[in-house]
Structure 1
Amino acid sequence: MAIAPRLDLRQSQTLVMTPQLRQAIKLLQFSNIEVNAFVEEELERNPLLERDDTADAPIGERAAPDQIAPPAPAAVDSADAVEAGTLPSETAAPLDIDTSNSYDPGGISDGAPLGGRIDGSGGSHSFDADDRTIEDFAGDELCLRDHLGEQLRLNIGDPVDRMIGAHLIALLCPAGRLTAEPAAIARAMGLPLEQVEAVRARMMRFDPVGLFARDLKECLAAQLAERNRLDPAMQALLDNLDLLARRDNRRLMAVCEVDAEDLADMIAEIRALDPKPGASFDTTPPQLVVPDLLMRQAPDGGWIIELNPETMPRVLVNERFYAKVAPRAKKDEKVFLTERLANANWLVRSLQQRAQTILKVASEIIRQQEAFLRLGVAHLRPLILRDIAEAVELHESTVSRVTANKYIATPRGTFELKYFFTTAIQGTNGDAHSAEAVRHRIRTLIDREPPSDVLSDDALVIVLRREGIDIARRTVAKYREALRIPNSVQRRREKTVPA
């Protein structure tokens, strides 16, 4: 067998990931907020792109009736407006009139904001045109350290003690606990431990009570002492917080030497305390979820789905600018403009294709989960990516990218598109049940159980199988733990001694 070089002709198909294709895939996976940020960068880079702020209608809709935009108001000539009485004429208000002695109702002297109109015509006898809200009159909230600093200056006059207090305030965590041991603080400051502990004990009575504690026990003890409720029985309860966490009320009654009624009152007092007194300060506002899709009910009973116009950017290709500049441009400038024109056209097409794909996938998801929207979580159907991909004739990876980081605002709340995809649990009669619906059913059964008949995991299995859900005990236990529901033993202990 001889070895020699030779030429072969082979034909194969490969997918070449061009930069434009990568960009389209990346845009499909982005949320509307991320797409908006990406478009802002492209607007700065590409002179042939411009923002389209003219259209106010939704970008795209599914199952929406035809809508006719109202005609734009015609331009009105100023002379005609004066004759019609809609504009003040020159004889009605002379320009050289002295207004220094005139009174303006609703002006600055009446408490109007300085940023309002000051031309003498912005007053009003009613509050109908006042767009100020209660937030405009509310003062700025103090942060935790400023709040404690004011109390430190008012309650502690010794300069050394005040320096210790300022150092303790600097070492507070957001929950209000000390991040260092008092002994380490005393060594670092070169002061006696007794002096540091004395200052800390005084500052633990600052508002809110319970700050500067080293652990949960000390924090709760300071709050109980402030209420004059730190008796020996309550101290014994604080010394056995692990038993309280396990809801071992029988051992707690023996340790605290109280009966069931007294223990219930003590537990109620513990629950009324604040385990993190510093958490009410320095709180950052929660990040609100901005839906990418909006959904509302149509007059015929169907559903209308549209992209959120407030977050979805609209861009146009400025071909007029290209036609004006390109003929007079140099060779390298013309290459640059041609490249930017192609990128702009590709971006516009990518955004349009992304919108159509998202609407197509979302419409199919809503069609298959319509029972959930009308009847609730118990009617959520089991659904996987393959079901939607086959219905809309797209690849599963495309459906996965469409549903990633996308939220839809429905009449039942705002949900991530991934929420509608749940695994299936087989039923005893051959039907499949959604795992989310089964979890909801487990929570409902536990919430409705009487104190005298707490349902164990085996009992839950029997009830669910009676309802046609074929489920194993370990699956019930897994769903219960995911819902953060204690087991039947702890629930029975808790309901035996209600608090």
Structure 2
Amino acid sequence: MQLSYTQQLGQRQSLVMTAQLQQAICLLQLSNTDLQSYIESEAEENPFVEVARPTSDRLREPALSKRSASDYDDVTARAAYHAPSLYGHVAAQFDLMFDTPRDRVVAECFLEAIEPSGWLGESLEDIAFRAAITMEEAEDMLARVQQVDPAGLFARSLAECLTLQAADKNMLTPIMSGILSNLPKLAAADLNGLSRACGCSMEELRNELKEVRRLNPKPGADFIYGDIAQREPDLIVSKGEEGWLVDLNRSTLPAVVVDEAKAETVTRDKTATEFVGERLSLARWLRRAVEHRNQTILLVGAEIVRRQAAFLEHGPAHIVPMTLKDVAEAVGVHESTVSRVTTGMLIVTPQGTFGLKTFFSTALSTDGDEASSSAAIRHRVQQLVKDEDPSKPLSDDAIAKIITDEGTHLARRTVAKYREMLKIPSSFQRKRRAKLAN
């Protein structure tokens, strides 16, 4: 066997993800609030980076048309109100309720086990083990912590939660106790069986059920506020003389300022020249990257607004089909860039505040030349359910037939999928709820 050496030359292209390229991609996904936090963290490490904080002026929202609560979410109005957290609300009461340090520590163990709904998320045995107390002491402490306001906190079940509230409102009659002991029958809308179990007439039962509806099954949920509902939008749409105008929300948009004067002062020391050059280069790159991020967001937002002019004029029912690829080709960027830009971004419009991702939907075939978007059809499904007769709710087949007769071809399974996305119960569940409500 003969061995020999050969040498070959070739060319190939490859994309190398440098650290700066990865940072630039991450900047596209940041909201204005997150961008400010990112720039502040960079300023702590780079002496030549300063944050130009946004002005304190609140954004000027466009005139809002009269829409239902489901179509409009006033982000800025809700952001102005900051309610205390569930933990802080209960902890403040514990400070007044428990005098001895030991009781306060044990109560803290119960507080650590509370869920956002207000219920206990751990068994009483686990809490007793963690607090190093007996089960009898745990039972006594549970009765004490359940006295906090609002009533129903620290419950271990739905029946216990509602019983605590009924007792607090002096509503715990024998019939009410019977109802709360037979909640499965109430959930199944078995009013006749529930009436027999409570030993009362149907009229008496209906009067008590009205009182049950006044109780809150999740008393802790009133203290929950999501991040999306509190932060201000990133883009603003307004109506101008020549059409719709899109602008960045300058009231929350930070900017990068490079301190060139400080760099010139430091460079007089020759030993620091290399460090200064590196940090100054990074500071200038960060400024360019933030400016490029703002420009890209503005271009993508403007293209979305241009395509969704009918929505801005008439509402969600007029959202036209649009994909990430359509916007990417119009703006001249990659499809993945549009996906990153629209993730988590909010835009305030005359129809309310929406995420940019809301406007992307696939096309459905119609009898006419223009296709309908899946977002508009979902809105139509929601509207049909809202306007239906509660005693005779529309089935998925009936909704599909109505929309098909209107010109958009829709299958029953598609209606079921849209209904689940909108968190709309089935026709059977809606009929049962209507029966209980009446």
Q: Taking structure 1 as the reference length, what is the TM-score of the superposition?
A: 0.69
Q: Secondary structure at the match of 2:375?
A: helix
CA root-mean-square deviation: 3.8
- Match for 2:231: what amino acid? V
Task: State the distance in 1 between where 2:257 and 2:94 align.
Answer: 54
**Is the Cα–Cα contact under 8 Å of residues 399 and 415 in structure 2 kept in the other structure?**
yes
Aligned to 2:124: 181
What does the per-residue CA deviation read over 1:148-189, in whole Å, with 9 as the maximum and x for residues that have no partner? 564567xxxxx9xx9779846752525554544389859964
Corresponding residue to 1:441 among 373, 380, 394? 380
**TM alignment of 1:287-302, pairs within 5 A:** 287=227, 288-298=230-240, 300-302=241-243
Q: Which of 223, 246, 252 is matched with 2:194 structurally?
A: 252
Aligned with residue 460 of structure 1, among 376, 387, 399: 399
Q: 1:472: how far off?
A: 1.3
1:391-470 to structure 2, matched below 5 A, reads 391-429=330-368, 431-470=370-409
Q: Does 1:311 align with 2:247?
A: no
> Which 5+ residue runs of structure 1 have no aligned equivalent?
58-134, 136-140, 154-158
- Of 343-352 and 259-268, more deviation after overlay is shown by 259-268
Confirm whether residue 477 of structure 1 aligns to residue 416 of structure 2: yes
Question: 1:200 deviation in Å?
Answer: 5.7
TM-aligned CA distance change 1:183 to 1:232, over 3 Å: farther
Q: Is 1:380–1:437's contact at 8 Å kept on the other side of the alignment?
A: yes
Distance in 2 separating the partners of 1:21 and 1:456: 51
State how 1:310-389 maps to structure 2 within 5 Å. 310-326=251-267, 328-330=268-270, 332-389=271-328
CA apart distance, 1:406 = 1.8
Distance change in 2, residues 1:201/1:424 (3 Å): same
SS of the residue 1:409 aligns to? strand
Q: CA deviation at 1:364?
A: 0.2
SS of 2:437's partner is coil
Q: Does 1:5 align with 2:2?
A: no
Give secondary structure in 1 for the equivalent of 2:354: strand
After TM superposition, give the deviation of residue 43 of structure 1 in Å.
2.6
User: 1-side partners of 2:418 and 2:331: how far apart?
Assistant: 32
Residue 208 of structure 1, CA deviation: 4.1
* 1:41 and 2:41 aligned: yes
Structure with the higher fraction of residues in helix conformation: 2
SS in 2 for 1:352: helix
Note closer, same or farther for the CA distance 1:458–1:342 as it changes in structure 2 (3 Å cut): same
Q: d(CA) in 1 for partners of 2:43 and 2:141?
A: 58
Q: Find the residue that maps to 1:365 and give its secondary structure.
A: helix
**TM-fit CA distance, 1:445:** 0.9
Q: Any conservation in 2 of the 1:425–1:432 contact (CA below 8 Å)? A: yes
1:389: Cα distance to partner?
0.8
Give the alignment's TM-score, normalised by structure 2.
0.78
The structure 1 residue matched to 2:214, chosen from 268, 272, 275, is 272
Alignment of 1:113-152 (within 5 A): 143-147=89-93, 150=96
Give, in whole Å, the separation in 1 of the partners of 2:254 and 2:54.
12
Pick closer, same or farther for the CA change 1:31–1:40 going to 2, 3 Å: same
Residues 353, 219 of structure 1: CA spacing in aligned structure 2 closer, same or farther, 3 A cutoff? closer
Measure the CA separation in 2 of the matches of 1:11 and 1:169. Answer: 67
Q: 1:258 to 1:459 in 2, by over 3 A?
A: farther
Match of 2:60 in 1: none
Say if 1:9 and 1:475 are closer, same or farther in 2 by CA, change over 3 A.
same
1:143 is paired with a residue whose SS is helix
Cα deviation, residue 456, structure 1: 1.1
Distance 1:379 1:251, change over 3 A: farther
Residue 166 of structure 2 aligns to which amino acid in structure 1? L
Give the Å deviation of 1:55: 9.7
> CA-to-partner distance for each residue in 1:272-296, whole Å, 9 max, x for gaps?
013344566xx46653122222222
How many residue pairs align between the two structures?
A: 404
Distance 1:27 1:185, change over 3 A: closer
In 2, Cα distance between the equivalents of 1:341 and 1:198?
A: 64
Cα distance in structure 1, aligned partners of 2:382 and 2:54: 50
Any conservation in 2 of the 1:428–1:465 contact (CA below 8 Å)? Answer: no
Residue deviations 1:105-143 (CA, integer Å, cap 9, x gap): xxxxxxxxxxxxxxxxxxxxxxxxxxxxxx9xxxxx983
- 8 A Cα contact 1:248 1:493, kept in partner: no
Contact 1:171 1:180 (8 Å CA) reproduced: no
**Distance 1:471-1:251 versus aligned 2 partners, 3 A rule:** farther
- Tell me if 1:216 matches 2:216: no
1:388 to partner: Cα distance: 0.3
Q: Cα gap change, 1:354/1:267 in structure 2, threshold over 3 Å: closer, same or farther? A: same
In the alignment, residue 238 of structure 1 is paired with which amino acid? Answer: L
Within 1, Cα distance between the matches of 2:108 and 2:11? Answer: 74
| Identity, % of aligned positions | 41
Q: Deviations over 1:32-79 (max 9, x none)?
A: 22322222233333333344579999xxxxxxxxxxxxxxxxxxxxxx
Aligned with 1:171: secondary structure?
helix
**For the residues of structure 2 that align with 1:291 and 1:268, how far apart are their CA atoms?**
40
Of 162, 165, 178, 1:236 maps to: 178
Q: Give the stretch that moved more between structures: 179-188 or 387-396.
A: 179-188
Tell me, yes or no, if the aligned pair for 2:94 and 2:104 is still in contact at 8 Å.
Answer: no
Q: Aligned partner of 1:381: which letter?
A: V
Structure 2 unmatched runs, 5+: 58-80, 82-86
| Structure-1 separation of matches of 2:140 and 2:277 | 76
Q: CA deviation at 1:368?
A: 0.5
Structure 1 residues 279, 394: CA separation in 2 closer, same or farther (over 3 Å shift)? closer
